[in-house]
């Protein structure tokens, strides 16, 4: 048996009463709290029942400050605020949506979109800044110095500014992802931001405490350090913080909750992240990087194929940082050329092609604009994060199309033995890292082919959700067509009735002939026998009455059917189409036949 939490019910009831008596959730624009008060930015003061609010048991007092309504709660203010948030969230979600079970992949996709999309302007700016910095510091131009591998103090002021511009956004991308994660789970944004900023560890200035040296013989260290440049640690830590913070608030005494809840929740998560979660994630990333590096030894270009195929998925996990640092270290210290960075740049070109394919195929204007504006950043400067998080990954199929195109060109590069001597930048600037000019040209050609292939693959597999309005129009037209066919069937049935009446008319003709024969006999017998004449006259009158009644009945039914068909023909002429003339012709023939027969056997005119 589940034990009911009476305190929780008490706070929910209080929150519900407050909402009811201040005009509902639509009568305030902001809701927040301080140490003892809940504060509402009221839209319409007249809807607030101030005296009723004062009588709510947990309310200690009410204060107006301009348009701000301050409800004094005291030590339980956090719990009442949480209850208010819960009621508002439930009312916004609605009962209908709660009945629908959302698939796990859809929940995951919604989470990715909620975390990534708000960061798109940041990634666009940082990506473009990286491209400009790479262009200005390239050997062909040389207006600025590259900040890679150098202390900032050795750079001139403008070069240092450009380097900060291109690196800070990406190095602290995890902080922004962590903030959005806390926001998605409705956690405390300020404390969540504190967790992420602490994990980025700007104050450490690159310092670390080594746990294991030269792990797996790669020359890399497993250490407790700052996690700037990583992604996963910030997301996991932020999720853990949200649930830890909620749990602590459930048992922390109200009197000390505002002081000790942050200390416990933030302190536990930071300690767990630095000493446990961070090293574990770093170890996993390093293991993945080491395993991937072993793929380079596979001959016939298969190793390069796998690297090019898997590199962008590794970017999503953050493992590419460890992988790239290992390769770059061997390229610098041992002066060993490697196909690794060839595959890296080809994968960037392929993702650019996938973005271009989305831009070509997209019909929704804002998404199309995002895709086309991202293409130059990825295609020219090789910065894939904006393309991945803004366009390709949320749609998934373009991302996979880019990976396939990248893998195919990686296979060609590996089979040709194409290797880069030094890392000179991303995108087209990779051309400068080859010892031979011809190798650089081959690299650009392979990159262009990867881009084109990814564009074609994306155009083949990409599809948007069907336009609701067009779908509505299609089904409306289809329903109308089916309804028209039903009406047409009804008209055909009526036409069959006309045919039936025509057959009945033939039977009447026989009756009329019998009647005529009797009339002739009467004429002959009138002179012979007067009594017989009277009997026959009576029989004829009775028979004539019966036939006349039948004619009236058929006549009336025929008139109803005729009117119905005429109205339906005019009303549904578009639906009846080419059957209209046929129906009218058959109806006219039937009526004419009846009229002719009636006028033949009766002197009086039969009205149809």
In this structure, what is the dihedral angle of CA atoms 189, 195, 201, 204, given to the nearest 10 degrees? 130
The number of CA neighbours under 13 Å toward the Cβ of 138 is 18
Query: Which residues are paired to 220 by β-bridges?
Result: 215
Query: Which residues are paired to 565 by β-bridges?
Result: none
The number of CA neighbours under 13 Å toward the Cβ of 161 is 4
What does the block give as tokens for 198?
């602490």
Query: Which residues are paired to 69 by β-bridges?
Result: 40, 64
Give, rounded to a whole angstrom, the gap between the first and last alpha carbons of the chain. Answer: 82
User: Cα(46)–Cα(26) distance, rounded to whole angstroms?
Assistant: 14
Question: How many residues would you count in the chain?
Answer: 608
Contact 401, 454 (CB under 8 A): yes
User: Cα(220)–Cα(502) distance, rounded to whole angstroms?
Assistant: 101
Tokens 């080594």 belong to which residue?
210
User: Cα(40)–Cα(33) distance, rounded to whole angstroms?
Assistant: 9
**Quick one: which of 568, 595, 589 has its CA closest to 492?**
568
Tokens 């390229």 belong to which residue?
331
User: Cα(19)–Cα(15) distance, rounded to whole angstroms?
Assistant: 6
Tokens 């767990």 belong to which residue?
272
What does the block give as tokens for 539?
């029989």
In this structure, what is the dihedral angle of CA atoms 335, 338, 342, 348, given to the nearest 10 degrees? -90
What does the block give as tokens for 216?
């797996």
Tokens 């797996």 belong to which residue?
216
What does the block give as tokens for 478?
């289809």
Q: Is 459 a catalytic residue?
A: no
User: Cα(380)–Cα(376) distance, rounded to whole angstroms?
Assistant: 5
In this structure, what is the dihedral angle of CA atoms 48, 50, 52, 55, given to the nearest 10 degrees? 140
Question: Dmax over Cα atoms in the chain, in whole Å?
Answer: 149
User: Cα(575)–Cα(486) distance, rounded to whole angstroms?
Assistant: 10
Angle (nearest 5°) at CA 446 between 138 and 324: 60
CA distances from 401 to 309, 351, 359, 457, 460 (A): 10, 8, 14, 6, 9
Radius of gyration of the chain (CA): 43
Enzyme catalytic residues: 34
């Amino acid at each position: 048996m589940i034990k009911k939490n009476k305190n929780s019910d008490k706070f929910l009831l209080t929150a519900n009463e407050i909402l009811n008596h201040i005009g509902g959730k639509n009568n305030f624009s902001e809701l927040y709290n301080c140490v003892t008060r809940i504060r509402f930015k009221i839209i319409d003061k007249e809807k607030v029942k101030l005296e009723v609010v004062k009588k709510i048991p947990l309310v200690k007092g009410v204060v107006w400050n301009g348009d701000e309504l301050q409800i004094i709660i005291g030590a339980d203010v956090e719990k009442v605020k949480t209850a208010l948030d819960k009621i508002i969230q439930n009312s916004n979600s609605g009962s209908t949506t709660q009945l629908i079970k959302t698939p796990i992949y859809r929940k995951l996709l919604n989470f990715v979109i909620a975390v990534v999309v708000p960061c798109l302007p940041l990634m666009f700016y940082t990506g473009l800044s990286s491209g400009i910095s790479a262009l200005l510091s390239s050997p062909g131009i040389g207006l600025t110095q590259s900040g890679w591998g150098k202390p900032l103090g050795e750079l001139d002021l403008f070069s240092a500014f450009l380097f900060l511009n291109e690196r800070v956004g990406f190095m602290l991308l995890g902080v922004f992802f962590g903030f959005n994660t806390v926001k998605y789970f409705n956690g405390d944004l300020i404390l969540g931001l504190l967790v992420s900023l602490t994990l980025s560890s700007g104050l450490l200035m690159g310092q670390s405490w080594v746990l294991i040296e030269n792990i797996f013989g790669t020359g890399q260290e497993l250490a407790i350090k700052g996690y700037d440049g990583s992604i996963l640690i910030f997301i996991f830590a932020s999720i853990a913080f949200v649930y830890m913070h909620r749990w602590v608030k459930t048992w922390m005494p109200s009197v000390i909750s505002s002081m000790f809840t942050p200390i416990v929740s933030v302190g536990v998560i930071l300690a767990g992240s630095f000493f446990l979660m961070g090293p574990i994630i770093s170890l996993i990333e390093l293991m993945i990087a080491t395993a991937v590096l072993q793929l380079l030894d596979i001959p016939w270009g298969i190793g390069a194929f796998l690297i090019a195929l898997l590199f962008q998925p590794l970017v999503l996990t953050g493992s590419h940082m460890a992988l790239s640092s290992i390769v770059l270290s061997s390229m610098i210290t041992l002066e060993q050329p490697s196909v690794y960075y060839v595959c890296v740049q080809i994968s960037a070109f392929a993702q650019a092609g996938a973005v271009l394919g989305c831009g070509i195929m997209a019909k929704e204007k804002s998404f199309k604009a995002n895709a086309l504006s991202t293409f130059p950043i990825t295609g020219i400067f090789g910065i894939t994060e904006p393309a991945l998080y803004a366009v390709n990954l949320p749609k998934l199929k373009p991302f996979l199309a880019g990976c396939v195109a990248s893998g195919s060109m990686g296979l060609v590069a590996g089979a040709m033995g194409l290797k880069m001597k030094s890392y000179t930048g991303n995108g087209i600037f990779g051309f400068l890292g080859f010892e031979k000019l011809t190798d650089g040209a081959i690299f650009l050609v392979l990159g262009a082919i990867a881009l084109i292939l990814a564009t074609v693959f994306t155009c083949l597999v990409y599809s948007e959700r069907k336009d609701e309005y067009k779908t509505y129009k299609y089904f409306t037209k289809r329903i109308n067509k089916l309804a028209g066919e039903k009406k047409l069937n009804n008209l055909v049935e009526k036409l069959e009735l006309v045919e039936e009446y025509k057959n009945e008319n033939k039977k009447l003709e026989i009756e009329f002939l019998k009647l005529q024969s009797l009339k002739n006999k009467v004429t002959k017998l009138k002179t012979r026998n007067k009594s017989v004449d009277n009997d026959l006259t009576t029989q004829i009158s009775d028979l004539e009455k019966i036939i006349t009644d039948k004619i009236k009945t058929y006549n009336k039914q025929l008139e109803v059917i005729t009117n119905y068909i005429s109205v339906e023909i005019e009303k549904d002429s578009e639906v009846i189409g080419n059957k209209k003339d046929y129906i009218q012709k058959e109806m006219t023939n039937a009526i004419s036949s009846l009229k002719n027969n009636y006028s033949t056997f009766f002197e009086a005119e039969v009205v149809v």
